[in-house]
Amino acid sequence: MAGRRVEELVSADLDRALAPEEADALEAHVRQCAECRALLARQERIHERLRTLGAAIQVNDSAEMWTGITARRRTEPRRAAAVVARLAFAAVVLIAAALAGFVLAGRAQVASPPPAREVVASTPFDLPNGGSGVLTIEQGSALARARSQIGVGARAELQLAQPTTRGSAEIRFRPVGDSSYGILAAAPDLAGSRRLTIGGAFPRPSGPDPVTYEIWVHLETDTASVDSAAIVVDITATRRGEEARAR
């Protein structure tokens, strides 16, 4: 017998599937062939293990088994609903985080540091004998008070046509409607000067409402007295400091 044929016959014999004449021929061959006897012994051991395993596995067709299956079927929709709920909650959290990031980005943009100086309003004016000047209202971080981010100030740049033997220059301001004025900055002695710049910061409004000011330059020389045109601005106290808006 060929080796492959003997293996098939041994397996069929263990399954009680051989015809009597085939079984007799296999038995006669195994008595004479040591290799086939070893093959038969291995197959017998395998079949014995399979029978032992089959005996250990019992199919439970009792009502208890079907009760367990039914319970699992009822539980699955609940599990699916729980999964859907968790996914929906996660989506809400992600959307909330995205919105929070958008809001924070917007706040960060609003709270960005102000520029050092920016012009709110400006006006040129003439001085005696062909001189000239410029009055500028500006705001920015360079004008901020302590513990503030932004402040408002006035600056006057003067160019005299010729040096004067005496004189003074002032930046004056007053709330609209008042007759008295204050002085933001001054150069009390212009003797020998031809070019100069003076400037100062506005006081902080005492309340939340804006204060409207008139601001102008007053110049005294040995030959003339000059007042520039006034600039009108609203100054408001904010959390960042003082901020201005031209009228």
Mean pLDDT of the 20-36 span: 80
Q: How do residues 139-175 score in pLDDT, each as one tens digit?
A: 999 999 888 999 999 999 999 988 888 889 999 999 9
DSSP H or E stretch at residue 44: helix 34-56
Q: Cα dist. 66→58, 72, 78, 82 in Å? A: 15, 10, 19, 25
The structure tokens listed for 190 are 């212009």
Whether the Cβ atoms of residue 226 and residue 135 lie closer than 8 Å to each other: no
pLDDT at 72: 59
Q: Once rounded to an integer, what is the mean pLDDT over residues 188-198? A: 90
User: Which residue type, as a one-letter code, is found at position 91?
Assistant: A
Q: What is the pLDDT of residue 108?
A: 47
Residue 37 CB contacts under 8 Å (≥ 6 apart), including other chains: 30, 31
Percent of the chain with pLDDT over 70: 76
- CA–CA separation, 213 and 183 (whole Å): 12
* Beta strands across the sheet bearing 118-127: 118-127, 131-140, 151-159, 195-201
Tell me the two tokens of residue 231: 């600039």
Segment 229-236 mean pLDDT: 97
* pLDDT at res. 193: 86
Burial 31-58 (b: 16+ CB within 10 A, else e): eeeeebeebbeeeeeeeeeeeeeeeeee
